[in-house]
Structure 1
Amino acid sequence: MLDPLDYLSQEEEKERYKNHNNDVNDPRYQKFVSPIVEKVRDHYDTNHLGLDYGAGTGPVITSLLEKEGYALRLYDPFFHLYPKKLSIKYDYIICSEVIEHFHHPYEEFKSLAEMLKPKGSIFCLTSLYNEEIDFETWYYKNDDTHVFFYHKKALEWIRNKFDFSDFFIDGKLIKLTK
């Protein structure tokens, strides 16, 4: 976890996100998020409502799923700030390359868990830390907007604390289910 004194200002953080290449038509970007897209397709249909939490400037997952008839809402504290969307219950929530940006992970996961309908799922995409990684040379920590890193043990704690019935990890993909 990064010392909060070292966090970027909100203006600096927003500028960094504006410089990300988040082109929804980029096939490489589409392939990168495909694990979440495939899991949503496997577990939900077009009658379910999803939230793309931390959607950023290029909500590629929403774009891909909406083309297939899925209904998703966008929320992002910098680019899609619509607090009313946080009072709705969702069948699933997507956090693609988002949770490592949480300044207050406890509060964020509590809020996400409260927004889920029973049996709902959160799909996260992030690089997990483990003992085999040399933190000093780990590329993922070098992004100034990455302020919190997760280990499998942290996800187990989140699962238990917020009453998720199940979770699994497959590479960078994490699924937490109520």
Structure 2
Amino acid sequence: MQCSLCGSETKLYSEILDKTYFKCTHCKGILLDPFHYLSTEAEKDRYQLHVNDITDPGYQNFVSPIVNAVSQKYNAHHKGLDFGSGSGPVISYLLKKNGYNITTYDPFFNPNNTALKSTYDYIVCCEVIEHFYHPLREFELLNALLLETGTLFCKTSIYHPSIDFDAWWYKNDPTHVFFYSPDTLQWIKENFKFKTLEISDKLIAFSK
């Protein structure tokens, strides 16, 4: 099976909980076998189980690394996109409270295709990129939506070799299908020609 991100060869990595995972020999991403992908309907049903109350302090704290990163680099005059904003777009809610100009897009809960016809100073993807069935296609889109001086902020759990994959809780969500190592993120930086890549805990920033 080819890697859905870089197109390279993959090798069997793990068979656990009746699921099969492969690891890319080049970019080091870990892929769930597409046989186990949920249907569109089942995927949306799974997301609807999430309790995403934008006024909940715990939820606001969860997204605070991205909100803080945007606030440090951009202001209300810049244009932003919350890509994969979900049923409770808390990042947009918090930034708009401070006067920020940010638009939301979500294929399930806000299929605002008009948002995909513009370009942005910054894009945020909070717990989104691990859901990409076609990560190469999605990163091509995100890159095209960014202005020449733009930044893509992502939040996901990064896989490190020190992690016991079979015991890793993050893989157990049935909608999580692609897992990124630091090498994978470096591949994205180089192949989409981002000037810088910053990784801090779960926060990732690709800057043009």
Name stretches of at least 5 consecutive residues in structure 2 with no aligned partner. 1-30
Deviation at 1:118, TM superposition (A): 1.2
Deviation at 1:83, TM superposition (A): 1.6
The percentage of aligned residue pairs carrying the same residue is 53
Q: Secondary structure at the match of 1:164?
A: coil
Counterpart of 2:83? 53
Superposed CA deviations along residues 74-105 of structure 1, whole A, max 9, x for unmatched, are: 10110110222112000000000000000011
Query: Within 2, Cα distance between the matches of 1:3 and 1:102?
Result: 13
Which of the pair is proportionally richer in strand?
2
Which of the pair is proportionally richer in helix?
1
Counterpart of 1:172? 202
- 1:91-110 alignment runs, 5 A limit: 91-110=121-140
Counterpart of 1:149? 179
- 1:1-178 alignment runs, 5 A limit: 1-178=31-208
Structure with the greater alpha carbon radius of gyration: 2
Task: Give the number of equivalent residue pairs.
Answer: 178
Q: Secondary structure at the match of 1:131?
A: coil
**Could you say what the CA RMSD is over the residues aligned between the two structures, in angstroms?**
0.6
Query: Within 1, Cα distance between the matches of 2:52 and 2:204?
Result: 21
The one-letter amino acid paired with 2:137 is E
When the two structures are superposed, what TM-score results if normalisation uses the length of structure 1? 0.99
The one-letter amino acid paired with 1:102 is F
Query: Within 1, Cα distance between the matches of 2:66 and 2:124?
Result: 8
| 4+ residue runs over 2 A deviation | none
When the two structures are superposed, what TM-score results if normalisation uses the length of structure 2? 0.85
Q: Secondary structure at the match of 1:41?
A: helix
Name stretches of at least 5 consecutive residues in structure 1 with no aligned partner. none
